[in-house]
Structure 1
């Protein structure tokens, strides 16, 4: 019985760390347009193996994927911005990427608080 309590406590600690990481991702995302998000990303990579077999593992993967796809879409916008014709399209790509990342951070945070795993 006591071992079950320890496992539950460990899972709660892992969930709390994931909550903090969602908030740090959001802060770096809103205040630096995601340029400082590599800092919580490193923590995601470090903490993810510790959560294998729990719902928290899917949340770390969700944050990692969100970061890399956001970087890709920001890069696409930069390439478009480098061309004169693509400047309006670049702003559209950047805006959509920003909205998409905001959605993923909010959805992930809410699903974590509802004890739901993220889709793989």
Structure 2
């Protein structure tokens, strides 16, 4: 009985992680990732509940993906305010966008294949 309860909890945690990947993807598409602050807050709140499971690594993966993306986008904005740095800012933004999309897709696929994420 208790093993079934644990499996149900893990299934619920995986479903929440799937929903969070989708939420990150939707906010990424419509706001270039800046509205992902909402799902990342949920990641921060729910991550301790999943300690010791593969879902924990996915919460960490999404959290790190968001914060690294914010740093790269901010760096791009700092460069964009100068005319000399604007072309480099465009490159940084493009690479950051592709990297963010890759991490969201890879994380979602790995979660569905019951694989933990390693940063």
Name the TM-score class by shorter chain: over 0.9
The whole-number CA distance in structure 2 between the counterparts of 1:107 and 1:100 is 10
> What corresponds to 2:111 in structure 1?
112
How much does 1:35 deviate? 1.3
- Deviation at residue 3 of structure 1 after TM alignment: 0.6
2:34 aligns to what SS in structure 1?
A: coil
Deviation at 1:119, TM superposition (A): 0.3
Structure 1: which 5+ runs fail to align?
Answer: none
Aligned to 1:67: 66
CA distance in 2, matches of 1:61, 1:92: 27
Give ranges in structure 2 of 5+ residues lacking alignment: none
- What CA RMSD, in Å, does the superposition of the two structures yield over aligned residues? 0.5
Give the 3-state SS of the residue equivalent to 1:105 in structure 2: helix
Match of 1:25 in 2: 24
With structure 2 as the length reference, what TM-score do the two structures score?
0.99
Shift of 1:34: 0.8
In the alignment, the residues of structure 2 paired with residue 24 and residue 76 of structure 1 have an alpha-carbon distance, to the nearest angstrom, of 25
Deviation beyond 6 Å, 4+ runs, structure 1: none
The TM-score, its normalising length taken from structure 1, stands at: 0.98
Distance, in Å, in 2 between the alignment partners of 1:93 and 1:49 is 33
